[in-house]
Chains A and B, each alone.
Chain A
C-alpha cells in the first residue's frame, strides 16, 4: 500500500528516513535542511520512530556520532547543507575510507562569502572526491524513494551515499506524492547486518595506520568497489521498481525531450523540472530538443551517458555549481566522459544559476534559441 499525501520536500525526506528505521540519528540544524531533522526529532519524540536522536554542537560532531553508531552496527542517518557539509569534509573522507554504510541527505545551498542560503550545488559537487556515492533528486517523491534505495545499496557496498535535494526548491515546497507503507519498505530493505562492527567480544581494529603499500592496495579495492557500485545501484533500482512501481536510472531520459533532436540539454536536480517545461514549449515552437537528467554523479555513469548521447551534435549543460577558473563543474565531468566518443559533440557550458538565482522556463528557452552563439570552449554566463 502506498498512501497519497501532500508533503513538504523535507517532510518527504523525513518519511523516507522513518521508513528505513534508523537506530541512530544525529544532525545539526542548518537552513534549508533544518525541517528534515526537526520532523525526525518530532517523530522520535512521538514514539513514531524508535531511534536514538543525538543532539550535537556541530556538523563535525554529527557525522562523528553516526560514524561511531554505524561502526557499532547501527543503521544511522544524518543530514546537512552548505557550510555544514563543508564542516564535515574531513570526516566525509574518513567515513568512506572506513568502509561503512550511511545515508546523508544534503539540501543543496550556496557557500559564503557572501552569505547566501539559496539553492546551489557547489556544496555537494565540491565533495565529489571523498569516496561517497552521490545521487541528485528532481522531485520529493524521488528523494523519498532514493533514501530507501540508498540504504539498500549502501549496506551492500559498505560505502556511504549522499542524496541531494535542491534547497528551498524541493525542501520548502509541497508536492503530491506516494508514501509507501512500512511493510513494503521492510520487504525491500532488510535490517542492517553489519559484516564487521565494534564488538568488545570480537575485537577488531578500525582504520588504524596503514603503511604506503597497504594504503595503495586498500584504495585500489575501494575504487574497484566504486566501479561495481553503479551496476549494483541499478540492481537496487530495478528491485525497487518491482515493488514500488517507480523506476529510476543513473541517467534519465525525459519523455518531454525529442529523442531525434541532435541537441540535448543536460540538467542535474530540480532544474530538470523547469527544463521539461521549457522543452515542451520549445516543441510547440517547432524547436526540437532532447533532455536528460544526471541522477548519479558518483560513481560517474560513463557507459550510460555515452549510450544516451550517441549521435548528438550539441550538448548544452545547465550548471548550478562552479569550479573557478575552469567552468561549470557538471560540464567538466561530462567533457571528460564524452572525450571517448568517436564523434564528439559541441559542448556548451552554461552557468544557469548560482546562489539561488531564479531559473524560469523562459531562461532555458532563450539559451536554446541562442545556442549557435554559445561559446563551445568558454563558460556561458547569462
Chain B
C-alpha cells in the first residue's frame, strides 16, 4: 500500500484523527428541535373500505383476508372470512361476485379472482370448526323458520352472542335452495353438506328441527315460547300461470330441480323450459345431464336474460338452444304429448304478449321458470310486526350473499330489540372507499389473473361433475398477492421511507388496529408526503388544531 504523508496538513489530518471540529457534523441529537410545532396539518391513519368490500352484500373485508392468504396464513384468512360469511365454500362457488366487478384492478389489468380464492378458503375450512369469541351465555331463545342461507346466518350470529336458537325446517335437510335448487355441477353435494354440517356442529346453541313445517297459524303460539321469531322461509314455489296450474305435463322449475337434486327419476324425454333466469338455465342444464332433450324459450333477447353471463355462455357451449323473443302462446295435451304453440314476443302496454304464431311443437314436459313466490300460507298471511323477516322472503328473490347478509342483519336487530341496545355490526362502517383514484398504481406490477380450468363441454354434459376446477395452494397465494389491499395498511413502509423528518415508525405488531403506522407528532412537520404517496390510500391529512 502506498503511503501518503498527511501530517503536514493540519486540517486534513485533524479529520483523520477524528477531530471533527470545523465539520458540519454534530453528535447532539436534533430530537430537541420539535419541528412538529411548525405544522398546520397532520397525517392520520384512515383505513377505508375497498370497492370490492362495498360491493359485497355481506361487506366481507376482502382485502384483509386476501392479505392473510398472500402471507400464506390460510387459517387466519379463514377466520377473517368466516367471521362475516358463514358459508364461504358455497358463496365461493355460486355468488355472482359483485366484488370482482368493482375491483380496482379492473382499471389496471384485470380483477382479482376473489371468487376462486374464497372458494379455496371455504374448502380449506370444511373440516375446521368455526372459531368465535365465546359470548356470555344468555337465557334468550329465538326461533328461526327456514334453514336456507338467511335462516342459518341469523342462527349463527345469534348463537355467537350466546343466544339459543331453534331452527324449524320443513324439508328433510338444511340448505334451502342451495340444496334443493342449485345443481351439483355448480355446487357439489358433498361440499354443501360438509359446509352445513361443519357449521351446525360448530354452534351447539343451534338446534335444527327438520321435517317441521311451521304454519303461519302456529306463529302466535311460537311467539310465546321464544323471545323472538325470524322468518326466513324464502320463496320456495315456482310461479305458474293459472291456466297451466292443473296440467299434469307442466312442472315448476323448483320442483323439477328438487327432484333432480334428490337423485330421483324424471319422466319424459323432451323438455321445454320457459324463462330466462338462473332457474331456467339450471333446470335445462340439469335435464341435459340426465340425458333429456331440452330447449329454452325466452320472451326477450339473450342479452336481456337475467341469468349470469357465464351460465348463458356455458349452457350454449353445452348445446342448449335458446329461442329468443319467443313466448308459449298456448298448450294442448294430445295423448302422451304436449303441443306448444310458439309465438313471436310482442310488446304491448309495457308488457309482452303472444304475437304471430311461429310454429307448433311437441314435448313431453313444460318446465316453468318465470319466478318464485312464497309458500301458500305465507303468501297471504298477515304477520305480526314483531316477527322479523330475512332472506328472499324479506327482500324478494335475490342471491345467497344477500340472504346471508339479511340473516345476519335480522340477528343484529333481534339482539338490539331484546337487549334494548343499538344494532350491533360485525363489519363496522368504513370511513370511505379507497377507489382507484386513491391507490397508486405505480407501486404495483401488472400480472394476469389466474385462470381456473373449466371441464370441456362434452364431459360436462355426461354428468353432474363440478365444472370449474379449484386453485392449487400456490395459485391461491399468487392470485391473492395481486390484491392491492385498497384502503388497508399493509405496513409496506413506503411512508416511512419517504418521511423527510424520520417521524414515522412502522409498528412491529403489524395488524393491530391503529398501531400499524405511528406518527411522531413532535417532529412531523405536516408536509403531507406520506399521505400523497401511500400506495393504498390509507394516510390522510387533517387540520392540526
Contact = CB atoms under 8 A, between A and B. Distances in A.
Contacts of A156: 4, 6, 12, 16
A203 B29 contact: yes
B30 A217 contact: no
Contacts of B28: 205
A205 B29 contact: yes
Contacts of B4: 152, 156, 235-236, 239
A221 B23 contact: yes
Contacts of B263: none
A228 B8 CA distance: 9
Contact of B27 (A152, A204, A231): A204
A206 B18 CA distance: 15
Contacts of B10: 224, 228
Interface string B352-394: 0000000000000000000000000000000000000000000
Interface in B6-37: 6, 8-12, 15-16, 18, 20-30, 33
B5 interface: yes
A126 interface: no
A242 B6 CA distance: 17
B12 A225 contact: yes
Nearest to A209: B33
Nearest to A242: B2
A204 B9 contact: no
Contacts of B33: 208-209
B501 to A, nearest CB: 13
Given A156-B16, A188-B2, A205 B22 contact: no
A72 interface: no
Nearest to B27: A204
Contacts of A157: 12
A210 interface: yes
Size bin of chain A's contact surface = 35 or more
Contacts of B11: 221, 224-225, 228
A99 B4 CA distance: 20
Contact of A228 (B9, B22, B23, B26): B9
Nearest to B6: A156
Nearest to B3: A239
Contacts, number: 79
B303 interface: no
A228 B10 CA distance: 8
A178 interface: no
B135 interface: no
Nearest to B8: A231
A206 B9 contact: no
Given A208-B30, A225-B11, A99 B23 contact: yes
A359 B26 CA distance: 51
B545 interface: no
Interface size class of B (residues with CB under 8 A): 20 to 34
A222 B11 CA distance: 9
B33 to A, nearest CB: 8
A341 to B, nearest CB: 27
B221 interface: no
Interface in A208-262: 208-210, 217-218, 220-222, 224-225, 228, 231-232, 235-236, 239, 242-243
B1 A196 contact: no
A207 interface: yes
Given A99-B23, A205-B26, A218-B23, A195 B9 contact: no
A187 interface: yes
A258 to B, nearest CB: 35
A83 B416 CA distance: 70
Contacts of A195: 15-16, 18, 20
B124 to A, nearest CB: 41
A243 B3 CA distance: 11
Contacts of A206: 24-25
Contacts of A98: 24
B25 A232 contact: no
Contacts of B12: 156-158, 225, 228, 232
A222 to B, nearest CB: 8
A190 B27 CA distance: 27
Nearest to A99: B23
Contacts of B3: 239
Given A195-B15, A195-B18, A221-B23, A205 B9 contact: no
Given A156-B12, A221-B11, A204 B25 contact: yes
A225 B16 CA distance: 13
The CB with the most chain A CB atoms within 10 A, among B1, B5, B11, B20, is that of: B11
Contacts of A239: 2-4
A215 to B, nearest CB: 9
Given A157-B12, A225-B11, A225-B12, A97 B24 contact: yes
B11 to A, nearest CB: 4
Nearest to B10: A228
Given A207-B24, A228-B9, A232-B6, A158 B15 contact: yes
Contacts of A217: 22
Contacts of B5: 235
A187 B23 contact: no
Contacts of B26: 204-205, 208
A240 to B, nearest CB: 8
B20 A196 contact: yes
Contacts of B20: 195-196
B24 A187 contact: no
Nearest to A229: B12
Contacts of A196: 20, 23, 25
Nearest to A214: B24
Contacts of B15: 99, 158, 195
Nearest to A210: B24
A152 B28 CA distance: 30
Interface string A189-209: 010000110000001111111
A235 B29 CA distance: 38
Nearest to A208: B30
A205 B25 contact: yes
A122 B16 CA distance: 35
A157 B20 CA distance: 13
Interface in A141-161: 152, 156-158
Contacts of A228: 9-12
Given A210-B24, A218-B23, A231 B1 contact: no
A208 B29 CA distance: 10
A114 B12 CA distance: 43
A243 B23 contact: no
A297 B474 CA distance: 63
Interface string A264-288: 0000000000000000000000000
Contacts of A225: 11-12
Contacts of A220: 22
Contact of A190 (B1, B9, B23, B25): B1
A97 B22 CA distance: 11
Contacts of B16: 156, 195
> Looking at B8, B22, B33, which has the most chain A CB atoms within 10 Å of its CB?
B22
B22 to A, nearest CB: 3
A232 B26 CA distance: 26
A210 B11 CA distance: 20
Contacts of A209: 33
Interface of B: 1-6, 8-12, 15-16, 18, 20-30, 33
29 contacts: A97-B24, A99-B23, A152-B4, A156-B4, A156-B16, A187-B2, A195-B15, A195-B16, A196-B23, A196-B25, A203-B29, A204-B25, A205-B27, A206-B24, A206-B25, A208-B26, A220-B22, A221-B22, A224-B10, A224-B11, A225-B11, A225-B12, A232-B9, A235-B4, A235-B5, A235-B6, A239-B2, A239-B3, A243-B2
Give 8 nearest A-B pairs by CB, closest first: A221-B22, A228-B9, A225-B11, A205-B26, A207-B24, A239-B2, A99-B23, A188-B2
Given A195-B20, A220-B22, A239-B4, 13 more contacts: A97-B24, A98-B24, A157-B12, A187-B1, A187-B2, A204-B27, A205-B25, A205-B30, A218-B23, A225-B11, A228-B9, A232-B12, A235-B5
